[in-house]
Structure 1
Amino acid sequence: MTRTVERVKRRGVGDDAADLVREAIFDGRFPPGAPLREVELAQQLGVSRGSVREGLAVLAREGLIRTGWHRPTTVIDIEPEDVEEVYALREALDGLAARTAQSRIGDSDVSHLLALVDRMAGETAGRGDATVLVHLDIAFHDTLYTIAANQRLTRAWQAVRSQIHLFQIRRVRDGYLPYRDSVVREHRQIIRSLQGADPQAVERMAREHVAAARQSLLASLRPDTR
């Protein structure tokens, strides 16, 4: 029988390379603007240049790096215009995700979200690890999209997720104390709204949460706006 579609491709070395470089970007080992050279990465990762090239293509699709003909491949710089665009999109997506999740959320979902917030609280009890705290923050929102169970909405979130992750890390590193003081409270408020019966209220809460994040990051990028 003639196949009309391609076989599912197994995860390859290029995907593994993308995971490792992405982690290094999030950890700050490759800061914004840093060059990413195929030869050096291949040596460091112990893989071929072809696998590195495949991995960098994944990161380019995620918006984490910039590349092109006759120009170096670099980690994206975080400019105010990028923040405005990405967070405007995120505000719309998160509002819809929260509103949709409210109609589907169950007790086990609430327990999972609360457990994530409890872990956030544990990180904020001391100086904490900013990278871990942001991972927990992103995991919370990943869970909201899973609860919402809208595949197209989830794909839209995943298209900007890596950029949001990087932007949030920058936000926390530039203003850890304000983030520490708000992250647990705001996420608990979202959970309470999800347990309520007002879809407009939960959407508004989710949007306000994103708007606050955007303003905090923009303030660090534009010192004159403080």
Structure 2
Amino acid sequence: MATDNRPLGGVGPARRRGLADEVADSVRAAIFDGTYPPGTQLRETELSSALEVSRGPVREALMCLEGEGLLRSGWHRGAVVVELSGEDVAEIDSLRGTLEHLAVRLAVERASEEDLDTLARVADRMRRAEDAHELVALDIAFHDAVYAAGGHRRLQEAWHTIRSQVHLFLVSRIGVSVEDYLATVPGEHRDLVEALRARDPEAALRLFADHRSHALHVLTGRDRA
């Protein structure tokens, strides 16, 4: 039956770069493109067969992804793609907001015209995204570029510790409302670029906070403030 192979449909053979890294890349991509939705159980034997590698690299990759906050392991359950709880959502949002506050202030002060042009190109690509998962990937790329524009290496490293969880947060958001995400996010990011170009820190911080608040309210089912 078609459903028997569905969980592995988006995963192909791993390239030989560092097998555990390659397996982690493949599984992470399958989580982010919706092949493995939250709650999916990932079995070492099935992944080993699909990726054409031994179980050792698969086990190492799953441990890596658990460290990123994408998987949880349970007794007799193996690895399961995280379903974000209300507490998870609140913690990811609050930490993201704290980091992003500094990132936006630094970007307002330090972003070069080239940095701003990069952000504008990403925002423009968002309007042409073919589906919500592509749009989520561009959303993350946009925020990568904001952190890069701030020129603060340790802040970028801190962002990368939660980046996968923010990506999962956004994947969970489109699980609630694809239509809202496709309709509102490209325009919100265009406005964020203009706020950064204006070099007005308070206006930029307000728009970035509104952007995060909208995502949080959609995911938690509350009316937008």
Q: Given the alignment of the two structures, is residue 14 of structure 1 paired with residue 20 of structure 2, yes or no? A: yes
Contact 2:97-2:212 within 8 A present in 1 as well? yes
Deviation at 1:69, TM superposition (A): 5.5
Q: What residue is the counterpart of 2:51 in the other structure?
A: 45
> Which ranges in structure 2 are unaligned for 5 or more consecutive residues?
1-16
Contact 2:132-2:181 within 8 A present in 1 as well? no
Match of 1:208 among 207, 210, 218: 210
Q: Give 1:152's aligned amino acid.
A: R
Q: What residue is the counterpart of 1:187 in the other structure?
A: 189
Deviation at 1:164, TM superposition (A): 1.2
If the length of structure 1 is used for normalisation, what is the TM-score?
A: 0.86
Match of 1:175 among 174, 177, 195: 177
Contact 1:95-1:204 within 8 A present in 2 as well? no
Q: Given the alignment of the two structures, is residue 105 of structure 1 paired with residue 111 of structure 2, yes or no? A: yes
Contact 1:100-1:148 within 8 A present in 2 as well? yes
Aligned partner of residue 155 in structure 2, secondary structure: helix
Contact 1:130-1:173 within 8 A present in 2 as well? no
Deviation at 1:68, TM superposition (A): 5.2
- CA–CA separation in structure 2 for the residues paired with 1:147 and 1:193: 14
Aligned partner of residue 103 in structure 1, secondary structure: helix
Q: Given the alignment of the two structures, is residue 72 of structure 1 paired with residue 78 of structure 2, yes or no? A: yes
Match of 1:29 among 13, 28, 35: 35
- CA–CA separation in structure 2 for the residues paired with 1:134 and 1:207: 18
If the length of structure 2 is used for normalisation, what is the TM-score?
A: 0.86
Deviation at 1:190, TM superposition (A): 1.2
- CA–CA separation in structure 1 for the residues paired with 2:126 and 2:175: 16
- CA–CA separation in structure 1 for the residues paired with 2:154 and 2:42: 32
Please identify, of 189-198 and 19-28, the stretch whose mean Cα deviation from structure 2 is larger. Answer: 189-198
Q: Given the alignment of the two structures, is residue 61 of structure 1 paired with residue 67 of structure 2, yes or no? A: yes
- CA–CA separation in structure 1 for the residues paired with 2:60 and 2:137: 25
Q: Given the alignment of the two structures, is residue 95 of structure 1 paired with residue 101 of structure 2, yes or no? A: yes
Superposed CA offset, 1:26-65 (max 9, x none): 1222121111111111111111111011111110111000
Q: How many residues align?
A: 207
Within 5 Å, give how 1:118-137 maps onto structure 2: 118-123=124-129, 128-137=130-139
Superposed CA offset, 1:134-185 (max 9, x none): 1111100011111112122112211111111122122124212222222122
Q: Given the alignment of the two structures, is residue 116 of structure 1 paired with residue 122 of structure 2, yes or no? A: yes
- CA–CA separation in structure 2 for the residues paired with 1:180 and 1:44: 32
Q: What residue is the counterpart of 1:222 in the other structure?
A: none
Q: What residue is the counterpart of 1:82 in the other structure?
A: 88
Deviation at 1:72, TM superposition (A): 2.1
Superposed CA offset, 1:80-135 (max 9, x none): 22111101111111121111111111111111111111111122xxxx31111111
Q: Give 2:200's aligned amino acid.
A: D
CA-atom RMSD, angstroms? 1.6
> Which ranges in structure 1 are unaligned for 5 or more consecutive residues?
1-10, 220-224
* Sequence identity (%): 44
- CA–CA separation in structure 2 for the residues paired with 1:47 and 1:158: 27
